[in-house]
Chain A
Amino acid sequence: MSSAETTKPQSFFEKNHLLLRRLHSLTGIVPIGVFLIAHLVTNSSILWGKVGMRQAGHDMTMVQGGVTYFQKEVQWINEQVPHLLLIEIILWTALAYHSILGFYYARTGRTNVTSYAYQSNWRYTLQRISGYIGILFIIYHIGTLRWGWTFLVPGGATWSHEFAASTLALALRGGEDFTAAGVAVSLFYLICVSLLVFHFANGLWTAAITWGLTISQSAQKRWGYVCAGLGAGLMLAAWSAVVGFATLSPAQARDFEKKYHEKYGGPAAVEKLGKPATGPSMNPSTSAVRESVPVQGQ
């Protein structure tokens, strides 16, 4: 170790310093970063799904294509991706590790952008802020959409993977139509996904220095362009997703989803369709919406 005169016994963290640090770096890329890419590509399909459906031989409008393609994807993930539980456990473990150690590591520094307002220093600071806010957002995002913390959703919508787009739109808008709280939630999403995309792209850039892949300043710059490009692409996907779902009419989406289930859903899905929703389009009160929307597990 160091030339310290006093050799104190090392703690677990000190002994495995490098391993823990590098695992922190690695988990940010695999699996978390990889998942982020897949998640944003899937969710942005609300805007480009029409193209996907056309390839499958269906000529749909943009909205119908988006809703249908997204429904198809979500159902595929939920019903056909093998070892989904294992994947989730790995993701959660990685996320917990990355955020807890990240928090601890972030506490070892003290930002000084006010004195040294360099662009790289801003990114250093933003990397930490986006980490803090990002993990809170992820907990909110999953808590409300997967764990049923509907008390945190304006309008109280429950996300259902059989009605993926329409229930998501409900959760973002705060009801059939935008409510003030819904606007706030949508903006919160927009800001937080942007921060997370930044966190990933910038983290990818710094990881290359940490691991020693980029050494020379020109190499760091070149890799910076790659990361910025990837970040810009993901940012576009993230904004498409949030804007796409927030501007989606839940009632219209529900219709398309029903059509989808009637056509491709198989007996199980059709059964889950339940009573046809009659109310919502005429009566956009949120409680009616909630009842009319079949909920996962019902």
Chain B
Amino acid sequence: MSSTTPTAPSVAPKPGTRTIRIRVKRCEGPGKPERWEEFTLQVSAGDGTNVIAALQRIAAKPVTVEGKNTIPVAWDSGCLEEVCGACTMVVNGKVRQSCSALMDTIAPNEGDVVTLEPMSKFPVIRDLVVDRSRVFHNLKRVKAWVPVDGTYDLGAGPKESPETQETRYVLSTCMSCGCCLEACPQFTKQENPETWDSAFLGAHAISQARLFNMHGTGKQLEKERLEALAGPGGVDDCGNAQNCVKVCPKRIPLTESIGAMGRAVTIHAVKKLFTLR
């Protein structure tokens, strides 16, 4: 970040600004070939440019470093404050929310390169947009909800102790972003949705099963959740690489959830073994 860099761009940079390069993995649609395109961008320290803002500026003038006109890059975003998960992508080789990826942090120096790729475990819809349906499908597999639907008023739910509240709160902050799945070596891309039900659920679903098993009313589905966790693709398919917990933006103790559900499944299986039916 200096005015004396030999690789001066055609326009003399304002003091305090730097030119960075954004490399984007592009794909025009499902089954279409992938290609890389590179763009340059001028940013200045403290201007708060994040990946989304960078993509917006590129979209306004979609010209590659080679000077070729191109189609604006497609991306997804929502909350822009790291709570919805829509903008999740692989930034500089690691999965994260792009809305909270600030250029000052990820590309602090003149000439730094930022690579943007879509998550690799989900089907690409276009460029950086992927279809995260399987994240939600797997939540359905473990019935990650409280069963309150009915035809009459069920009344007030059971009280929650502050202790369970404390454990549950952080679990409830999961935004189904898919980071834990992208980084997990056991969660592999499934081209055919027919295999979804036997493939690994992923840390988020295991953790959500724990969240709802700890809920006074949610407990009603405990056995069904444990059956799903004991089945193919369940908690035993975890290989304990513990990448999930390291990449989770919400710092959810996923490996603790995996241990807790491992224990619950063990107890459930032993109970089943000794229950005559």
**Interface of B with A (CB < 8 Å)?**
93-94, 140-143, 183, 185-186, 188, 194, 197-198, 200, 227-228, 230-232, 234-243, 246-247, 253, 255-256, 258-267, 269
**A274–B201 alpha-carbon span in the complex (Å):** 64
**Interface of A with B (CB < 8 Å)?**
1-4, 6, 13-14, 17-19, 21-22, 105, 108-112, 115-116, 118, 120-121, 123-125, 127, 205-206, 208-217, 219-220
Residues of B within 8 A of A124 (CB): 185, 239-242
Residues of A within 8 A of B228 (CB): 1-3
Residues of A within 8 A of B188 (CB): 108-110
Residues of B within 8 A of A116 (CB): 94, 183, 243, 246-247
**A265–B128 alpha-carbon span in the complex (Å):** 76
**A278–B227 alpha-carbon span in the complex (Å):** 70
- Contact A120 to B243, CB < 8 A, known contacts A14-B232, A109-B188: yes
Judge whether B236 and A1 touch: CB under 8 Å.
no
Residues of A within 8 A of B243 (CB): 112, 116, 118, 120-121
Residues of A within 8 A of B227 (CB): 1
Q: Is the interface of B mostly helix, strand, loop or mixed?
A: helix
B141, B258, B261: the one within 8 Å of A2 (CB): B141
A-B contact count (CB 8 A): 125
A13, A19, A110, A209: the one within 8 Å of B258 (CB): A209
Judge whether B242 and A108 touch: CB under 8 Å.
no
A to B CB contacts below 8 Å, 7 in the list = A1-B231, A2-B197, A3-B141, A115-B93, A115-B94, A208-B259, A209-B238
Residues of A within 8 A of B235 (CB): 210
Question: Nearest chain-A residue to B183 (Cβ)?
Answer: A116
B183, B246, B266: the one within 8 Å of A211 (CB): B266
**A25–B238 alpha-carbon span in the complex (Å):** 12
Residues of B within 8 A of A118 (CB): 241-243, 246
- Contact A17 to B185, CB < 8 A, known contacts A212-B260, A212-B264: no
- Contact A18 to B230, CB < 8 A, known contacts A2-B197, A115-B94, A120-B241: yes
Judge whether A210 and B94 touch: CB under 8 Å.
no
**A13–B235 alpha-carbon span in the complex (Å):** 16
Min Cβ gap B158→A in Å is 24
**A109–B240 alpha-carbon span in the complex (Å):** 11
Judge whether A210 and B262 touch: CB under 8 Å.
yes
Question: Nearest chain-A residue to B228 (Cβ)?
Answer: A2
Question: Which among B231, B236, B239 has the highest number of chain A CB atoms within 10 Å?
Answer: B239
Judge whether B259 and A18 touch: CB under 8 Å.
no
Judge whether B255 and A217 touch: CB under 8 Å.
yes
**A111–B261 alpha-carbon span in the complex (Å):** 24
Min Cβ gap B193→A in Å is 10
Judge whether B262 and A209 touch: CB under 8 Å.
yes
Judge whether B262 and A121 touch: CB under 8 Å.
no
Question: Nearest chain-B residue to A17 (Cβ)?
Answer: B232
Judge whether B266 and A212 touch: CB under 8 Å.
yes
A6, A22, A105, A214: the one within 8 Å of B259 (CB): A214
**A2–B259 alpha-carbon span in the complex (Å):** 21
Q: Report, nearest first, the 10 A-B pairs whose CB atoms are least far apart.
A: A212-B263, A124-B241, A212-B262, A215-B259, A120-B242, A21-B236, A2-B141, A206-B240, A18-B230, A4-B197
Residues of A within 8 A of B247 (CB): 116
Residues of B within 8 A of A121 (CB): 185, 241-243
Residues of B within 8 A of A206 (CB): 239-240
